[in-house]
Structure 1
């Protein structure tokens, strides 16, 4: 949580402070991509945490958060391995995250398939939508403006 707050404040400083254009582009790109990674990582936890609070299953949230952390770590590992072979599987990884979120919600929250699928779809769509945050950040705008 502290990391997210620090990155949001740093991003706000880079966008607002007049000396921001004087900073090296590499630093701004690193901050933008770090913010994007934090937001995309936070989405599954926010969606599943919200579902746990709405379903009054607070006692099961730590187990579900641990499961999501393991799934995210393994998906990063698989992404790195596939990337080494030149295969991009970002969208597939988002779908896999949605699937495992649904399975975990069904197992740990005890919801039916409808509720589990809804949670999985919300996780996948939220993570996919968060990827478009890059377009609003200065690095993403510079990438779009480049010929």
Structure 2
């Protein structure tokens, strides 16, 4: 199982970064099982990164953990909704597992990079959203076989949607408390 998953990761990376549109064989090398496994692993990493900083004060900070978890879930769903919608509109359903696995890898790596940068006091949230937009555009160009114009549009929609989703925090109780604090 692990070798099959790692092989699918390799295929998804090669298909997303190919110079020419990915072949049907390359995209078919990734199944929905591989894509869901990658997404679940990324969500588990996200959950650990959300809970561990609050572990000492978890009963009191439970509301904040729930709010940040909801925010993270919505922000994580945006690229999948945009890219999945594009795949359905372009009738490239067979390429979606490879694309979703690639997105899971990009999101997991961006979370780890954000953690490392945060340890040094560098806030790179907006930059990470831009990088997600770039990788979304690059993967959609290769996996969907579209031109740069369409790929850039998809990348911009992913970046803007993710950025807009970040404002959900302002509507949640934790965000309201942060706004009310002096």
Identify the range of structure 1 (48-57 vs 1-10) with the bigger mean alpha-carbon deviation. 1-10
CA distance 1:45–1:15, shift in 2 (3 Å): closer
- Contact 2:92 2:144 (C-alpha < 8 Å) held by counterparts: yes
Distance 1:11 1:76, change over 3 A: closer
TM-score by length of 2: 0.68
8 Å CA contact retained: 1:7, 1:35? no
Note the residue ranges of structure 1 that are not aligned, 5 or more in a row: none
CA displacement at 1:41 relative to structure 2: 0.5
CA RMSD of aligned residues (A): 6.3
Going from structure 1 to structure 2, the CA distance change for 1:84 and 1:48 (only over 3 Å counts) comes to same
Q: Measure, in 2, the Cα distance between the counterparts of 1:94 and 1:19.
A: 24
String of CA shifts for 1:111-133, please: whole Å, max 9, x gaps: 11110000000000000000000
Cα offset, 1:14, TM superposition? 23
Deviation at 1:69, TM superposition (A): 0.5
> Structure 2 vs 1, CA of residues 62 and 21 (structure 1 numbering), >3 Å: closer, same or farther?
closer
Instruction: Tell me the TM-score normalised to structure 1 length.
Output: 0.83
Contact 2:106 2:132 in 1 (8 A): yes
The number of residues matched between the two structures is: 147
Query: How far is 1:8 from its partner?
Result: 16
Deviation at 1:87, TM superposition (A): 0.7
Stretches of 4+ aligned residues off by more than 4 angstroms: 1-25
Match of 1:18, SS state, is helix
1:29 Cα offset (Å): 1.2
Which deviations, in whole Å up to 9, do the C-alpha atoms of 1:76-111 show, x marking residues without a partner? 111111111111100000000000000000000001
Against the structure 1 CA distance between its residues 11 and 102, is the aligned structure 2 distance closer, same or farther, given a 3 Å change threshold? closer
CA contact (8 A) 2:50 2:69 kept: no
Deviations 1:21-44 (A, max 9, x none): 999652211111100000001100
